[in-house]
A = this chain, B = another copy of it.
Amino acid sequence: MIVVTLKDIAREAGVSVMTVSNVINGKFSRVSEENAKRILKIIEEHNYVPNLSARSLAKSTSKIISIILRGEPDENTLRNPHHATLLGIVIQKVQDQGYYTMVNKVESHEDVLRSLRTWNVEGAILLGMFDDEIENIYSINDVPLVFIDSYSDARQLSNVGIDDDKGGQLAARYLIEKGHRKIAFVGPPLRGNGVVKHRFDGFCSELKNNGIALNPRHHFVVKSDVQPEAIIQMGERMACLHDEITAAFVTSDQIVPYLIRGLAKNDIFVPKDFSIIGFDNSTISTLVIPQLTTIAQDIDKKAELAVEILFRQLNSPDSPAESLVLDVELVERESVAAMRACSDS
């Protein structure tokens, strides 16, 4: 198949490339109706598709949005259903705007900068970037950026996230209401200023309001990617601490089923012997038994808003940075039981 160019179309139509270009770009006011029709027909016949590299070069713009996924070298970020769902929506919405999406997995802020500056990328949505990385990215960048679930002190940051602190608080308050006082925290490392840190802070502050302090021994750390075996073993160990803790707040629903399995191995059953509250209200939370009590967030909305903000900035470059915080709420299901000793019913 020979590549058809503007020039070919122009020759066949007996007009200049300019005229064809005008037709392609919908500037019909500059072309006679007769010519426009004829050219359109020829374009159709030849199945002509403009060479976007050439257009991009000429306009120094590209219609490309880069979607940047932060991840560790051996981690398949999309195995995380939260990330996958988010990405699916973002791709769809970007495409709906007539833009193209390039997806980059990055392991550092250097990777980010490279991704951002190669294809005249017009903007980017970044997922999972940390505090310190964001600083570096901002210092060298010139296209609109929208972060998802990032925290940063950078003044001019566009971000859409959820109220992670409140999520932690709700979890703690609920468990306390149910009579629990010896509560564990389970989640990935508290790197920098991330979502986990905020969930942790909210959780601890609510404990504190009730005169409870989190025993560092009861802060369980898991890897960022869900590793079933490791979590099951952690569950087994938690079961041995059963006299010390009666409940746990877990920062992701994905972790919970394995934890429950590990606990069960040592005859600790949820919710009868041990209560757990998860986070995300993901699909899994209604698939397992007991169904998970969890902190719900609206992932679709988060993705949609991120794209909306990005295009707002693309369309009017002087529009201000926007930082949106979506609400979270507790969804009560079956994985938390009231303590008999301190029943409040």
Contact = CB atoms under 8 A, between A and B. Distances in A.
Contacts of A314: none
A81 B85 CA distance: 9
A42 to B, nearest CB: 17
A287 B289 contact: no
Contacts of A92: 76, 105
Nearest to A76: B88
Contacts of A87: 78, 84
Question: What number of copies of this chain does the assembly contain?
Answer: 2
A287 B284 contact: yes
A50 B118 contact: yes
Contacts of A60: 3
A76 B85 contact: yes
Contacts of A340: none
Interface stretch (A95-103, A183-191, A233-241, A243-251): A95-103
A127 B214 CA distance: 48
Contacts of A113: 47, 49
A30 interface: no
B84 A103 contact: no
A256 to B, nearest CB: 9
A283 B228 CA distance: 10
A12 to B, nearest CB: 19
Contact of A77 (B51, B67, B88, B119): B88
Contacts of A81: 79, 81, 84
Interface string A39-75: 0000000010111111011001010100100000000
A91 interface: yes
A114 B289 contact: no
A140 B51 contact: no
A307 to B, nearest CB: 13
Contacts of A79: 81, 84-85, 88, 283
Nearest to A73: B92
A120 interface: yes
Contacts of A102: 64, 100-103
Nearest to A258: B287
A53 B49 contact: no
A103 B104 contact: no
A288 B286 contact: no
10 contacts: A49-B118, A76-B89, A78-B87, A78-B91, A84-B87, A101-B102, A103-B103, A228-B286, A258-B287, A284-B284
Interface of A: 1, 3, 47, 49-54, 56-57, 60, 62, 64, 67, 76-79, 81, 84-85, 87-89, 91-92, 95, 100-105, 113-114, 117-120, 140-142, 228, 257-258, 283-284, 286-289, 300
| Shortest 7 CB-CB contacts between residues of A and residues of B | A78-B88, A84-B84, A53-B56, A76-B88, A257-B287, A49-B117, A78-B84
